[in-house]
Amino acid sequence: MRHSVRRGVVYGTALALILLSLGGVATAQRSVLKSIELCNGLDRTSPDIQIDGCTSLINSGKQTPQTLVIAYNNRGNAYTAKGEYDRAVQDYDQSIKLSPTYSKAFNNRGVVYQKKGEYDRAIKDFDESIKLNPDYGNAFANRAATYQIKNEYERATRDYDEAIRLKPTLEAAWNGRCWSRAVVGELQAALADCNEALRLQPGAAATLDSRGFTYLKMGEWDSAIGDYSSALQLDPSLASSLYGRGLAKLKKGDITGGNADVAAATRIDSKIVEDFAHYGVQ
């Protein structure tokens, strides 16, 4: 998975798939109530459990249109969690067909299009979600992440600004803005954003990676190595942290350790050198 894409789906996943209550279902039948609970994600053991609960409601032929809107949306979320993106899109399509003003289904379908690499379609869905609900911080964060993948950092930063204004506790937005600012060279502002993200969610590998990158661009090699090493303890396969740590080690004169990290990173992501060159780091 490419570096920028991974950062996008942190909020994602985060990033942004909201499950709603099905409290409007008026029935006393235990089996239906159980299906409602499962469709709402009560049991997180497996996405299949949520899929079964939502499918039971959808196939019952007894639910209100609003219940079906949410059931299709929630089943789409479960299919997304399984990586079955085409099925997820089909369910979000049904949710939107039943309720064309349901902003969360547009947002969630946008997340799936982003995961599929269909970035323009993703942005179109986020645009619609925001149009329907201008206070939807998650949709701004998801659109920002998509602009970031497209290397449109100014647009990404503006959307992160809105996401943070609307939802100041959204760690992924602070991390995303840290990354965008670091790429364009706004290093002190980036560092402040990463620090806030880590305050909100201590020990997040993606944010440690972002702050390590910021320190790398600042020339603070020891701090970069420290953050990258912490990120790798949490996620040993994080190519960006391996490569960044390798560069910092090389800058410090640790040729053996630096080359080992760089080689390990390129085995995981063959384009990591190209990516970092684009970010202004070689």
Question: Residues 215-238: what's their mean pLDDT?
Answer: 98
What band does 274 get if pLDDT is binned at 50, 70 and 90?
very high
Q: Read off the pTM.
A: 0.86
Residues 6 or more apart whose Cβ sits within 8 Å of residue 256:
none
Dihedral through CA 95, CA 80, CA 203, CA 280, nearest 10? -100
pLDDT of residue 29: 62
Contact 39, 50 (CB under 8 A): yes
Domain-by-domain residue ranges, the chain? 1-167, 188-282
> Is the per-residue pLDDT at 58 higher than 70?
yes
Write out pLDDT tens, residues 212-224: 999 999 999 999 9
Write out pLDDT tens, residues 59-114: 988 889 999 999 999 999 999 999 999 999 999 999 999 999 999 999 999 999 99
Whole-number average pLDDT of the chain: 90
Backbone dihedral angles phi then psi of residue 169, each to the nearest 5 degrees: -90, 5
The architecture (CATH level 2) of 1-167 comes to Alpha Horseshoe (1.25)
Tell me if 1-167 shares its fold with 188-282: yes
- How many Å apart are CA 201 and CA 128, to the nearest integer? 30
Backbone dihedral angles phi then psi of residue 274, each to the nearest 5 degrees: -60, -40
Third-level CATH fold of 188-282: 1.25.40
Write out pLDDT tens, residues 246-267: 999 999 999 999 999 999 999 9
Which residue type occupies 100? Answer: P
Of the chain, the percentage scoring pLDDT greater than 70 comes to 89
